Amino acid sequence: MTQANATLSTMGRSTFHLRSDQRLPVQGPVYFHNSRLQGTGDLWNVSLTGCRMDGTPAVPLGAVVELLMLLPCPTGEVLIKEATVCWVRGVEFGLRLVTVQPGEVTRLEQYITSHLR
Omega before 74 within 30 of 0, i.e. cis: yes
* Assigned CATH for 22-116: 2.40.10.220
User: 3-7, 48-52, 71-75, 81-85 — which is least confidently predicted?
Assistant: 3-7
Q: What is the pLDDT of residues 14-23, one digit of tens each?
A: 444 444 567 8
Segment 50-73 mean pLDDT: 95
Helices (H), the chain: 102-116
The mean-pLDDT minimum among 14-23, 37-46, 54-63 falls in: 14-23
At residue 3 the predicted structure's pLDDT band, cuts being 50, 70 and 90, is very low
What local confidence, expressed as pLDDT, does residue 8 receive? 34
On whether the CB atoms of residues 45 and 26 are closer than 8 A, the answer is yes
DSSP state of 20: S
Amino acid at site 66: E
The ranges assigned to domains in the chain are 22-116
pLDDT given for residue 102 in this prediction: 95
